[in-house]
Structure 1
Amino acid sequence: MRILFIVSLMLFGVLSYAQTSIQGKVVDANNEPIPGANVVLVGKAEGTTTDFDGNFTFNTSEQPPFQLRFTSIGFSDFIAEVTSNNQTLTITLSEASTILDEIVISASRTPERIFESPVSVERFGLNEIKNTTAESFYGGLQNLKGVDMNTNSLTFQSINTRGFATFANNRFLQLVDGMDNTAPGLNFVLGNLVGMSELDVQSIEILPGASSALYGAGAFNGILFMRSKNPFDFQGISAYAKTGITSQEAAGDNNYYDFGIRAAHAFSDKLAVKANLSILKGEDWHANSVVDFGNPGADRSNPAYDGLNIYGDEVSTLLDFDAAAGLPSGTVGSATVSRTGYSETVLADYDAESIKTDFAVHYRPFGDDLEFIYNGRIGRGTTIYQGANRYAVSGFSMQQHKLEIKNDNFFLRGYIVSENSGDAYDTRFAAININRSWKSDTQWFTEYAGTYIPAYLGGIQQGGLSPEEASAQAHAAARQVADTGRLIPGTPAFQSAFNTVTNDGDLTTGAKFIDNTKFRHVNGNYNLAHLIDDWADIQIGGSYREYELNSGGTIFTDLDGPITYNEYGAYAQLQKKFLDDRFKFTGSARYDKNEFFDGFVSPRLSLSYTAGENRNHNIRASVQQGFRNPTTQDLFIGLNAGRAILVGSAPDNLDRDVRTFDVSASGQALAGGSTVEVVGRAAYENSFTLNSVQRFGETQNPLDLEAASPGLIQPEEITAFEAGYRGQIGKFTIDLSGYYNSYSNFIANVTTVVPFYGDSGLTQTIPGDPNNTPVAIAAIANGDFQAYQTYTNSTVDINSYGGTVGVDTKIGDFDLGVNYTYTELDFDEARFPDFRTNFNSPKHKVKASFGNPKLFENFGFNVNYRWSDSYFWEATFADGDVPAFTVLDAQINYAVPSIKSVFKLGGSNILGDEYFTAVGTGNIGSIYYVSWTINP
């Protein structure tokens, strides 16, 4: 009965009030339409925006008389009196300088002025899309204050705020029309590779920082909201065509194409449909660094050479030449030797591609009172993804299908997100297994040692060479002999082996990823304000999600079938204004439960005050708690990444990962055979810390070995404090904020070393050994061990803090904006050297923009400048310094109203100073383009 009562109450709220409908047009002093202007009901958080032609329709339950406020960037506010239903207005805005009256939805799940938002929020609307200097609207987001964008490849850019950036950024959520755009198996957003066409974007909002109280576990470090155009409000056919070149020293100059079309039509006031298609093609940024990963100062003559973008040379071993030849110790010595690798440029497909399609049906059976929506999105792309290794993501596809019912007071939606890895493969394992296809590791290293020993002794005894000279000559000769039969890129034999390996999903022999993971999600929200005479804005909502992991054992430990699990949550929020609407209180709380962990409550409290006679100063402060559930990979991954085996720490995953390893000849007696079987549980319960094993390798002192004890993973928690100010002082718009984040149970990776025999507690000793040498120490000394990457939580305090300040103004008719971001990590790395935070963010960033959308009639321009401080990049693939860089983007545009067209000529990184934002990626070059957009 209670459920029936609630459903009845919701339907009553949907159908029981009359509507007031106002239409009109917003123009400037020259009678030109103003697209994207905000139309807001004075005194309430209700509003809409104008379309490309400046037209709007505003529907409300409020009965006349009332007032509407009209605002747009670069124009003064205008308040119009509404005296009757179905009134038609023509509004003329005069030029000014303010951005504070724009309407945002994300901060409180309800429309409100950005000026009064309880937390920091950035908005990117139709005007910003039109004037962006970047080659795409998504790339233009990196010019917003507080926003970092790491470029993985031409079609994969990863957005982040407030530190802890990675390409697998599972701390940052991206919602497309309310649907989580996270790839289910990868656990992160692939930029806009399978996202939204810029023709269909109505607005973008970014919430930096934690927002778990309203959006749940994924909203931990920030959220990006993309909202598309409704086909009832934005009708007709729109199209764009861009062409140009990408320019990079490593890749040269290559063609760049980007085309899109949008069609929308309302067949009546009840039914409307829309469809979008966009296609992007270009040459990806080539990654060709040959820096020795293990010894940056060495050249390629180093016998243990491991090039950053050279793969296959990770396979190495310690060759004891004296033992192999039966010579006294110290005669020839020993050396670590790696196999000869292949460069990424012959292993990866650099033909970047993104194809996005979507289709939507909108049905309003009772006019604007209720709307049913079906939305289907299918994206397909080819890109390079850098995680533990560099992955050629070829033909990757992702689908989203949504059913939604909503009106101004509630929504209820259900959707499914599924991915298909297509022909994706691991370039490192491609190289490793191509090498093994023509000669096994055992044979290669045996031939190497068999050639090196006589060559070295001959160089000393007959050649009169110094030991160093003899060693260098012998290593060169040994590699030449061992490489006899090596497959040469470009030959049919190499291509045949490459095709075989990249179509094999067993990483012991192949490199292909097979992933068909999906999740199902249902969520809803109801605003009770209209039921209580708008005394306050009260919202309730909840969500449920089920994961289905299906990688056939290539990523997850799901060889015996798909793995499923679920999580759910519910929340409530109250928002109320006091003191002549100057003081605003927002309080919310959410409860979430994942089936593997205890439930978590995440509250948020925010206070803001609007000061000044003209209400042009707003001060805000907020505190909130948030959490992040471990990802699907944190829980169930089971992947040999080359340098380490990744094993998730879900309780029932530890025994799923079982692997067999060869044992050295000197260790076979202790291991009880030539091979051993190691279970993933050992990474957590019978292992040494990586640093201590490295120290032992230098000192051979058993006291240096330290047992590792990473705990099983738990949800990560955050307490976030924020304070800020927004204001209008003369012609200057000021927005500043500061934050302090305190983390507990911080999720990160710890690399451990598992001995093939013996125990990390050193209780088992070698039988009959008078020194009682622990068996595990012998395993480490013999090289009989394996590195594992574990998923765990930090026991130490990790904090971060920072702030942003932005100033926008007009100088004559020119728009000028400058912003600065400061970000800092507070973590005692010296005490916990094995713990990796992956903060990966510059301490200082400066951005500026300068332009004039109407330098003269129908002609405008814009320039964006970005400077980033140097920072240290820490990730599974590689660590290293990212140098400071400066980027300049620019565009000029010309509108032809008679054909509803805008022509643009622009370029990103026009100074040509190549840079990178993460160690291991290709350098980012320049993109020069010309575009034609019809009816944007």
Structure 2
Amino acid sequence: MKNFFMVLFVLAGWTSAFGQTTVRGKVVDANNEPIPGANVVIVGKAEGAVADFDGNFVLQTEETPPFTVRVTSIGFTDKTVEITQSIQEITVVLEEASTALDEIVISASRTPERVFESPVSVERFGLKEIRNTTAPSFYDGLQNLKGVDINTNSLTFQSVNTRGFATFANVRFMQLTDGMDNTAPGLNFVLGNLVGMSELDVQSVEILPGASSALYGAGAFNGILFMRSKSPFDFQGLSAYVKTGITSQEAAGDNTYYDFGIRAAHAFSDKFAVKANISYLRGEDWHANQTIDLNNPGAGRENPNYDGLNVYGDEVATTLNFDLLAGLPSGTLGAAVVSRTGYDEADLANYNAESLKTDFAVHYRPFGDDLELIYNGRIGRGTTIYQGANRYAVTGFSLQQHKIELKNDNFFIRAYQVSEDSGNAYDTRFAAINVNRRWKGDVAWFTDYATAFIGARLGVGTGVQLSEDQAHAAARGFADQGRLVPGTSQFQQVFNDVISDGDLTTGAKFIDKTKFRHINGNYNLAHLIDDWADLQIGGSYREYELNSAGTIFTDFDGPIRYNEYGAYAQLQKKFVDDRLKLTASARYDKNEFFDGFVSPRLSLGYTLGEKRNHNIRASVQQGFRNPTTQDLFIGLNAGAAILVGSAPTNLDRDVRTFDVSAGGQAFTGSPTVQITGRSAYENAFTLASVSAGAPAAANPGLVQPEEITAYEVGYRAQINRKISVDLSGYFNSYSNFIANVTTLVPFYGQVGDNSLSLLALQNGDFQAYQAYTNSTVDINSYGASLGIDANIGGFDVGGSYTYTKLDYDEAANPDLRTNFNTPEHKFKLSLGKTDLFKNFGFGINYRWSDDFFWEASFADGEVPSFSVLDAQINFQAPKIKSVFKAGGSNLLGEEYFTAVGTGNIGSIYYVSWTINP
């Protein structure tokens, strides 16, 4: 292994160890103000440099003059400069214009290229956009990009998505931070920017909507987000920002909000540089206080079987046959489904929202710019609310990433580890259930309820017979006598004990210290084949280590490990006077539980017009998504159902004991039975058939990778250097769609073979399970987006429209839950000017979203349409290298939500001061 890395080191640096040409320069606008982040790229080569905050850059290359460099920056016209000397200094003046399509991106093809010529759709958010965003943070500002959705889970946790299938776990969308997968390996979700990157250190954000498996593997199934940080060689000095204001919500009131950060970077020489970042945010989270009855939306808390949306503990319910219990003739008092009294979410969750992000990096260049060795460590800690199967109070959650990377212009190889620690996180639903049970067990509580109801209906002791509604109210009051009251020391003591207990039968804490180790590399062979084409090869290997101590996964006897690997190649070639661009790539991936899968991609792009200002493109690609760690190895009692993963080795790991009714004991010969997870797949009824009164066997197959075939066409144009147009359409066809199926496992009998299993249903001797499987249903989605940006009289004006549609036979497949969760129509508008007056600018963003149906394991329901207006004004003070900003989000004040069950999103008003060297 040591020899292998030595050979790789030598090969990678061989051609670049003796650079021949050094170009130094500065990029400025017409007012001689620096343009930070400007891209300087050698024409026809995958080599370039980026201007620092003062507009300065250094480009070192072995290319022998004469050659040409192209200088571009979003919002400015591009410019080419002829390099004629091996050591040359230049000053490049860019004229302001609407040239977003000239910006350089790397993500679409793993090589620098203009957005204009990218083979697939790509959105970019650079330094200018970060500085001028109207949102409270750069990450919030991504929702103003064309085709991008952000679902807000809480104040500190937003989930980015494109092209549908948007849950908060968002397992079809990948997020990379400096090349590291930002997914929590056990909880299976990206925590937005809760533990991500400080906005002081962000150089650019790129988003690829749609499948990207051909280059990035299984996780890049429905889209991918790239966050790139600033190099300490290019961006030096001490930077800082402070931001404060208020969050305003009807449920929570007005609360102080503040956010600050510091970045320090220094290059001790042209070979050694370091940087460090720390940022901290604190505020009051959006309170979730919806009390609508999920069992009967038109009823209130007087419903005996009340199950409130943001009320927990009332999921525990049973059928009380009052006639049978009282020894009365059938039909005298009847029967009713009764639920225990729950607690509001506000009684169970601390709404403090916090985010602490730290990172440190060391960069070493032994041969100047020709080779770079990087260590990067990131540690983030946060407190937030996460909504999955239940609402989780994620308190003190932490995520660590540690990376070592070796790279130059032709290659990179990186190895990193991502590990999570759930801290003091707990499940609010189980907190309520087990606080209730520690005070009074379910049997005792329902017995008290039934006794009081029967007495009230018959007038026992009073001679006054109450109505049915009055009797239910009296029975609940009697059963709840002495119940623990939030705010009292007795409640707090029991609550603290429950949320410290990792056994969900008695507690609410979930424990997770899962990690994964990842190594990947890429080599661009163009320089070895005389730049005949851009030819890249690469691969990756990942090992998972699941460690939840049996609270999430079935790792009761120790951590569970498994691995996956992949390799790819891509060829990119230009023809016809560089107007026709061909991109062809293919990737092979293998997970130890599944057969290998090949993901090919083919794209053609053609540049039209005398001025080369029109581009059309078409692409087709296949992709796949491996089942997640939870799809494979979860073993969790979520209350409504037991979740059991379908890895072949997992089915018999989940073993549970259940009580059997008196009627069922005649068949089992025991008051209890043991059921394994295998029964959920091999001996169960479908929930839908039982609910319809015609029980039928459920036969969910073991989960397999999900597959997609994606087609895309697009058109881009630059008109008079003032207007840019970006139009695209896509069609996605899914097979082996990963889905959850709820099955009912009888405690005795074999489904389909005899009547015992039906008797078990009648006696209530069954358990609901959630199985992970694949649907055989044909599922398609399609859509289109149009974006227009223009510079009119010095004002930046933009607008976009996005259409997204799911297509499958819903009526014929009532059990299938796709979790598409995306509005069919949405549009966005922007208006701004960076220099309305000297050093004074402003920005306005408006977005409208159509109503849509939200479908998720926590709750289903309609999300109404909403309109949001954000705005900011800013003042630049060049002498103190500062920018002052005042702004607000949701200035219309109309509270809205993007998912059923979350708190309503209110308004944020803020002022900020940013200092950059």
SS at match of 1:25: strand
Q: Do residues 926 (structure 1) and 917 (structure 2) align?
A: no
Alignment-derived partner of residue 565 in structure 1? 562
Alignment-derived partner of residue 848 in structure 2? 867
Alignment-derived partner of residue 888 in structure 1? 869
Measure, in 2, the Cα distance between the counterparts of 1:300 and 1:131: 47
Structure 1 residue 815: Cα displacement: 0.6
Measure, in 1, the Cα distance between the counterparts of 2:491 and 2:877: 54
One-letter code aligned to 1:746:
F
Asked if the contact 1:197–1:278 (Cα under 8 Å) also holds between the matched residues in 2, the reply is yes
Measure, in 2, the Cα distance between the counterparts of 1:308 and 1:371: 53
Measure, in 2, the Cα distance between the counterparts of 1:238 and 1:401: 24
Measure, in 1, the Cα distance between the counterparts of 2:777 and 2:136: 43
One-letter code aligned to 2:746:
P
Structure 1 residue 356: Cα displacement: 0.3
Structure 1 residue 335: Cα displacement: 0.4
Q: Which residue of 686, 710, 718 corresponds with 1:720?
A: 710
Measure, in 1, the Cα distance between the counterparts of 2:294 and 2:442: 21
Asked if the contact 2:23–2:88 (Cα under 8 Å) also holds between the matched residues in 1, the reply is yes
Structure 1 residue 451: Cα displacement: 1.2
SS at match of 1:87: strand
Alignment of 1:768-847 (within 5 A): 774-847=755-828
Measure, in 1, the Cα distance between the counterparts of 2:585 and 2:337: 59
Measure, in 2, the Cα distance between the counterparts of 1:46 and 1:7: 20
Alignment-derived partner of residue 457 in structure 1? 458
Alignment-derived partner of residue 210 in structure 1? 211
Structure 1 residue 670: Cα displacement: 3.2
Alignment-derived partner of residue 382 in structure 1? 383
Measure, in 1, the Cα distance between the counterparts of 2:787 and 2:689: 47
Q: C-alpha deviations, 1:201-256, integer Å up to 9, x for none?
A: 00110000001010000010000000000000000000000000000000000010
Q: C-alpha deviations, 1:366-421, integer Å up to 9, x for none?
A: 11111000000000000000000000000000100000100000001100000000
Alignment-derived partner of residue 701 in structure 1? none
Measure, in 1, the Cα distance between the counterparts of 2:749 and 2:627: 31
Measure, in 2, the Cα distance between the counterparts of 1:483 and 1:887: 44
Structure 1 residue 13: Cα displacement: 3.9
Alignment-derived partner of residue 769 in structure 1? none
Q: Do residues 737 (structure 1) and 728 (structure 2) align?
A: yes
Measure, in 2, the Cα distance between the counterparts of 1:860 and 1:182: 37
SS at match of 1:780: helix
Measure, in 2, the Cα distance between the counterparts of 1:102 and 1:61: 24
Measure, in 2, the Cα distance between the counterparts of 1:131 and 1:800: 34
Q: Which residue of 900, 904, 910 corresponds with 2:881?
A: 900
Structure 1 residue 480: Cα displacement: 1.0
SS at match of 1:666: coil
Measure, in 1, the Cα distance between the counterparts of 2:20 and 2:477: 83
Measure, in 1, the Cα distance between the counterparts of 2:235 and 2:4: 37
Alignment-derived partner of residue 629 in structure 2? 632
Alignment-derived partner of residue 666 in structure 2? 669
- Judged with a 3 Å threshold, the aligned counterparts in structure 2 of structure 1 residues 31 and 403 are, in CA distance, closer, same or farther, namely same
One-letter code aligned to 1:845:
K
Asked if the contact 2:240–2:262 (Cα under 8 Å) also holds between the matched residues in 1, the reply is yes
Q: Which residue of 684, 690, 701 corresponds with 1:711?
A: 701
Structure 1 residue 6: Cα displacement: 6.9
Structure 1 residue 12: Cα displacement: 5.9
Structure 1 residue 782: Cα displacement: 2.1
Alignment-derived partner of residue 425 in structure 2? 424
Alignment of 1:59-98 (within 5 A): 59-98=60-99
SS at match of 1:225: strand
SS at match of 1:682: helix
SS at match of 2:301: coil
- Judged with a 3 Å threshold, the aligned counterparts in structure 2 of structure 1 residues 456 and 665 are, in CA distance, closer, same or farther, namely farther
- Judged with a 3 Å threshold, the aligned counterparts in structure 2 of structure 1 residues 502 and 212 are, in CA distance, closer, same or farther, namely same
Measure, in 2, the Cα distance between the counterparts of 1:12 and 1:359: 26
Which piece of structure 1 moves more, 204-213 or 478-487? 478-487
Asked if the contact 1:46–1:112 (Cα under 8 Å) also holds between the matched residues in 2, the reply is no
Alignment of 1:202-601 (within 5 A): 202-458=203-459, 463=464, 470-601=467-598
Gaps of 5+ in 1: 697-703, 765-773
- Judged with a 3 Å threshold, the aligned counterparts in structure 2 of structure 1 residues 706 and 50 are, in CA distance, closer, same or farther, namely same
SS at match of 1:322: helix
One-letter code aligned to 2:512:
D
Which piece of structure 1 moves more, 674-683 or 391-400? 674-683
SS at match of 1:653: coil
Alignment of 1:102-141 (within 5 A): 102-141=103-142
Q: C-alpha deviations, 1:782-810, integer Å up to 9, x for none?
A: 22222111110011111100011000012
Structure 1 residue 460: Cα displacement: 14
Asked if the contact 1:256–1:283 (Cα under 8 Å) also holds between the matched residues in 2, the reply is yes
Asked if the contact 1:47–1:103 (Cα under 8 Å) also holds between the matched residues in 2, the reply is no
Q: Which residue of 912, 932, 935 corresponds with 2:893?
A: 912
Asked if the contact 2:456–2:465 (Cα under 8 Å) also holds between the matched residues in 1, the reply is no
Alpha carbon RMSD of aligned pairs, Å? 1.6
Structure 1 residue 8: Cα displacement: 7.8
Asked if the contact 2:457–2:465 (Cα under 8 Å) also holds between the matched residues in 1, the reply is no
Which piece of structure 1 moves more, 82-91 or 795-804? 82-91
Alignment-derived partner of residue 689 in structure 2? 692
Structure 1 residue 272: Cα displacement: 0.1
Measure, in 1, the Cα distance between the counterparts of 2:777 and 2:546: 32
- Judged with a 3 Å threshold, the aligned counterparts in structure 2 of structure 1 residues 277 and 922 are, in CA distance, closer, same or farther, namely same
Alignment-derived partner of residue 752 in structure 1? 743
Measure, in 2, the Cα distance between the counterparts of 1:181 and 1:5: 30
One-letter code aligned to 1:416:
Q
When normalised by structure 1's length, the TM-score is 0.96
- Judged with a 3 Å threshold, the aligned counterparts in structure 2 of structure 1 residues 297 and 653 are, in CA distance, closer, same or farther, namely same
- Judged with a 3 Å threshold, the aligned counterparts in structure 2 of structure 1 residues 46 and 366 are, in CA distance, closer, same or farther, namely closer
Measure, in 2, the Cα distance between the counterparts of 1:594 and 1:527: 26
SS at match of 2:369: helix
Q: Do residues 186 (structure 1) and 187 (structure 2) align?
A: yes
Measure, in 1, the Cα distance between the counterparts of 2:136 and 2:345: 26
Structure 1 residue 429: Cα displacement: 0.2
SS at match of 2:585: strand
Alignment-derived partner of residue 174 in structure 2? 173
Structure 1 residue 303: Cα displacement: 0.4
One-letter code aligned to 2:537:
I
Measure, in 1, the Cα distance between the counterparts of 2:20 and 2:503: 62
Q: How many residues align?
A: 915
One-letter code aligned to 1:547:
Y
Alignment-derived partner of residue 699 in structure 1? none
Q: C-alpha deviations, 1:16-65, integer Å up to 9, x for none?
A: 65342211111111111112222222233433322221111222232111
One-letter code aligned to 1:64:
P
Measure, in 2, the Cα distance between the counterparts of 1:663 and 1:329: 24
Asked if the contact 1:14–1:407 (Cα under 8 Å) also holds between the matched residues in 2, the reply is no
Asked if the contact 2:625–2:705 (Cα under 8 Å) also holds between the matched residues in 1, the reply is yes
Structure 1 residue 5: Cα displacement: 11
Structure 1 residue 95: Cα displacement: 2.2
SS at match of 1:127: helix
> Percent of aligned positions with the same letter in both sequences?
76
Measure, in 1, the Cα distance between the counterparts of 2:646 and 2:253: 45
- Judged with a 3 Å threshold, the aligned counterparts in structure 2 of structure 1 residues 892 and 5 are, in CA distance, closer, same or farther, namely closer
Measure, in 2, the Cα distance between the counterparts of 1:203 and 1:219: 19
Measure, in 1, the Cα distance between the counterparts of 2:199 and 2:671: 59
Measure, in 2, the Cα distance between the counterparts of 1:117 and 1:672: 69
Q: C-alpha deviations, 1:459-480, integer Å up to 9, x for none?
A: 9995466xxxx21111111111
SS at match of 2:102: coil
Which piece of structure 1 moves more, 787-796 or 73-82? 73-82
When normalised by structure 2's length, the TM-score is 0.98
Measure, in 2, the Cα distance between the counterparts of 1:328 and 1:678: 37
Measure, in 2, the Cα distance between the counterparts of 1:568 and 1:95: 46
- Judged with a 3 Å threshold, the aligned counterparts in structure 2 of structure 1 residues 11 and 72 are, in CA distance, closer, same or farther, namely closer
